[in-house]
Amino acid sequence: MSDFPKWMLALAGTNLIPLLLCPFFMFGQLHPFGTSQYEVVNFLFYVLLNLLWVVPVILFFVSLELYRRCFEGPGIVVAVLGLLLTIADIVLLFVVG
């Protein structure tokens, strides 16, 4: 962890918040995209909803790996994208849902 500045760890660490919220996404009976009469479409909605919490966790590791490999700019951009997706998750979970 000494390879990273504290601000980068704090920025990337916000991408782990959806990991704490994953039970709400998986078992919270959220339907922000609506429902369909077709089970295949409902399954795709379920996969899309679960990607909303999986992708920020993946972006956490990607951002730190990019920063560690001396790609500071792209690492910061990936961390900020993960932060924006985390904010969208929280809004989707607590405001829309």
Which pLDDT score is estimated for 85?
95
Region for 36 from its dihedrals, namely left if φ exceeds 0, alpha if ψ lies in -120 to 50, beta otherwise = beta
pTM of the model as a whole: 0.85
Which pLDDT score is estimated for 25?
80
87 and 14 Cβ atoms separated by less than 8 Å: no
- Give the total residue count for the chain: 97
Which pLDDT score is estimated for 1?
67
- Per-residue pLDDT of the chain (97 residues), as tens digits, is 678 899 999 999 999 999 998 888 888 777 777 788 999 998 998 888 889 889 999 999 999 999 999 999 999 999 999 999 999 989 988 887 6
What is the number of other CB atoms lying within 10 angstroms of the CB of residue 52? 20
Residue ranges of domains in the chain: 6-96
Give DSSP secondary structure letters for 43-91.
Answer: HHHHHHHHHHHHHHHHHHHHHHHHHHTT-HHHHHHHHHHHHHHHHHHHH
